[in-house]
């Protein structure tokens, strides 16, 4: 009899925020006797390996480590046990537990909370009751006077998912509730506390926009929906102001994080369309590059015209066309919600100058960098260089909508691609 050889193909996967699941294959050799259990070791957050399970007591080739906290990193190795003793360890496998989205939002609110005085998150000299933050509901009968709670409330599962062949849409619903207990219900003071509650709700919205906004640079959010509800109680002894925000986050995610995403949030403050002054030509170029941050629906169509040549093997056979490559042709179009800064002399010297007319009558060439990113960390940016003669601008106005500009032009040469 002998000890077993090392277990094979150990893997680790974080399943929920406090759990890592281990799986492995039995050893190639059991040493001539049955496997009675497995010895499991763990290194937690870089510490030395220590015994997690001295003996599982069975020959199951899986184990769930549920002793973790959010964002813990666990490295594992497994050894087989038979009557002769404990064999050598397997390969190392590691995984890191995630943090719940509610915890992320709670930490975001706490870290960025800027209100002071009665609504401070830290104790001050004249105020000891601070605003508290938790990622669950308050406990009935033990509610804090000033509290912000965050809960994920999707009815079924963690999120609602609509699947497509190569990507999926994920919708998550949260409730963020602000509690503010009014110490005095007198009319002359109650309005003061109503104003304090308004400050709390406005602060929540401000902070959420730091991260949960299509233009915040997260690279995956494409829509958020917010709506407040009021559930104030006015008991004479302890009136409580309560405002609840139903906050829906809709994401569009590819099955691969390498796929490029065509909207501004993918690359944050870098925008999606950059006017490149050094490469453009014209008599009245702007002084420096300019980033258009409100550009969308960018379309580029390009190719070569086909020139047919008809050939036949003999006068009696059917004509056979052969196509040759002709002159290059391409079109560029985009939509813009122009800001005031987009049409000042520092950019393109007013919108009419986007054509870059030259004194000899020719159109100048505007060089744009069209940038889109993916969701890798850090993101990879796909940058397309476009050489464009702007030929047409169209202003579109509708009731209760932003003014839109439709820009069209001809490509003067094939575009080029690079990753940044």
**What number is the average pLDDT over the span 379-407?**
86
Higher per-residue confidence, 377 vs 352: 377
Q: Which of 141-145, 176-180, 255-259 has the highest mean pLDDT?
A: 176-180
* pTM for this predicted structure: 0.51
Alpha-carbon gap, residue 285 to 291, rounded angstroms = 15
- For the chain, how long is the longest CA-to-CA vector? 106
Residue 267 pLDDT more than 50? no
**What number is the average pLDDT over the span 251-267?**
62
Question: Could you tell me whether strands 73-82 and 93-96 are parallel, antiparallel, or unpaired per DSSP bridges?
Answer: antiparallel
Confidence (pLDDT) at 268: 40
The band of 269, judged by pLDDT with boundaries at 50, 70 and 90, is: very low
**Residue 274 contacts residue 368 (beta carbons within 8 Å):** yes
Residue 316 pLDDT more than 70? no
Residue 289 pLDDT more than 50? yes
Residue 263 pLDDT more than 60? no
Higher per-residue confidence, 301 vs 266: 301
Return the SS3 of 113.
coil
Residue 271 pLDDT more than 50? no
**What number is the average pLDDT over the span 354-375?**
80
The band of 219, judged by pLDDT with boundaries at 50, 70 and 90, is: very low
The band of 86, judged by pLDDT with boundaries at 50, 70 and 90, is: very high
Confidence (pLDDT) at 347: 47
The two three-digit tokens of residue 363, written as one number: 């159109």
The owner of tokens 């046990």 is 81
Alpha-carbon gap, residue 182 to 320, rounded angstroms = 88
Residue 299 pLDDT more than 60? yes
Residue 244 pLDDT more than 70? yes
* Percent of the chain predicted with pLDDT > 90: 26
CA distance to 68, 347, 368, per residue, from 277 (Å): 54, 10, 9
Confidence (pLDDT) at 309: 78
Closest CA to 379 of 259, 229, 274: 259
The band of 81, judged by pLDDT with boundaries at 50, 70 and 90, is: very high
Confidence (pLDDT) at 38: 95
Higher per-residue confidence, 405 vs 214: 405
Q: Which of 113-117, 223-227, 341-345 has the highest mean pLDDT?
A: 113-117
**What are residue 254's DSSP bridge partners?**
167
User: Over the stretch 185-202, which tens digit does the pLDDT of each residue have?
Assistant: 555 667 788 888 999 999
Alpha-carbon gap, residue 7 to 41, rounded angstroms = 13
Question: Any long-range contacts for 86-90 (C-beta under 8 Å, 24+ apart)?
Answer: 86/3, 86/39, 87/3, 87/4, 87/5, 87/6, 87/27, 87/31, 88/3, 88/5, 88/6, 89/6, 89/41, 90/6, 90/7, 90/8, 90/10, 90/24
Taken in order of first residue, the domains within the chain and their CATH numbers are 8-96 (2.60.40.10), 101-254 (3.30.2000.30), 265-419 (2.40.30)
The two three-digit tokens of residue 6, written as one number: 């090392």
**What number is the average pLDDT over the span 56-63?**
92
The band of 352, judged by pLDDT with boundaries at 50, 70 and 90, is: low
Higher per-residue confidence, 4 vs 154: 4
The two three-digit tokens of residue 241, written as one number: 């102001």
Confidence (pLDDT) at 4: 92
**What number is the average pLDDT over the span 367-393?**
83
Alpha-carbon gap, residue 354 to 389, rounded angstroms = 9
* Radius of gyration of the chain from its Cα atoms, rounded to whole angstroms: 31
Average pLDDT in the chain: 80
Let me know how long the chain is.
420
Residue 27 pLDDT more than 60? yes
End-to-end CA separation in angstroms for the chain: 59
């Amino acid at each position: 009899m002998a000890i077993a050889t090392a277990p094979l193909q150990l893997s680790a996967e974080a399943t929920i925020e406090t759990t890592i699941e281990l799986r492995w294959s039995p050893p190639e050799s059991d040493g001539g006797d049955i496997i009675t259990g497995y010895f499991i070791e763990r290194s937690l957050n870089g510490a030395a390996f220590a015994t997690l399970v001295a003996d599982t007591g069975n020959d199951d080739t899986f184990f769930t480590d549920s002793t973790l906290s959010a964002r813990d990193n666990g490295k594992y190795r497994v050894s087989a046990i038979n009557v002769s003793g404990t064999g050598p360890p397997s390969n190392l496998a590691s995984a890191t537990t995630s943090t719940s989205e509610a915890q992320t939002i709670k930490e975001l609110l706490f870290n960025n909370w800027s209100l002071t005085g009665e609504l401070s998150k830290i104790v001050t000299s004249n105020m000891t009751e601070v605003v508290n933050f938790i990622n669950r509901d308050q406990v009935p009968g033990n509610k804090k006077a000033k509290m912000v709670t965050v809960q994920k409330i999707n009815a079924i599962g963690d999120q609602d998912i609509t699947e497509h062949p190569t990507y999926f849409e994920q919708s998550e619903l949260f409730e963020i509730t602000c509690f503010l207990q009014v110490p005095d219900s007198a009319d002359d003071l109650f309005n003061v506390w109503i104003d304090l509650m308004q400050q709390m709700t406005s602060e929540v919205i401000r902070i959420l926009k730091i991260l949960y906004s299509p233009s915040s640079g997260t690279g995956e959010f494409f829509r958020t929906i917010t709506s407040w509800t009021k559930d104030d109680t006015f008991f004479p002894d302890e009136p409580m102001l309560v405002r609840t925000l139903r906050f829906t986050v809709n994401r569009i995610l590819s099955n691969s994080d390498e796929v490029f995403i065509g909207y501004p949030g993918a690359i944050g403050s870098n925008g999606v369309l950059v006017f490149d002054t050094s490469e453009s030509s014209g008599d009245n170029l702007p002084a420096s590059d300019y980033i258009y941050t409100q550009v969308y629906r960018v379309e580029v169509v390009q190719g070569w015209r086909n020139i047919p040549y008809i050939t036949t093997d003999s006068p009696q056979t059917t004509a056979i066309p052969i196509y040759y490559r002709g002159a290059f042709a391409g079109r560029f179009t985009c939509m813009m919600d122009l800001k005031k800064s987009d049409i000042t002399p520092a950019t393109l010297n007013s919108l009419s100058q986007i054509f870059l007319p030259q004194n000899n009558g020719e159109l100048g060439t505007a060089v744009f960098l069209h940038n889109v990113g993916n969701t890798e960390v850090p993101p990879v940016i796909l940058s397309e260089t476009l050489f464009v003669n702007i030929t047409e601008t169209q202003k579109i106005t509708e009731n209760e909508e932003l003014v839109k500009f439709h820009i069209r032009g001809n490509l003067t040469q094939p575009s080029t691609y690079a990753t940044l």
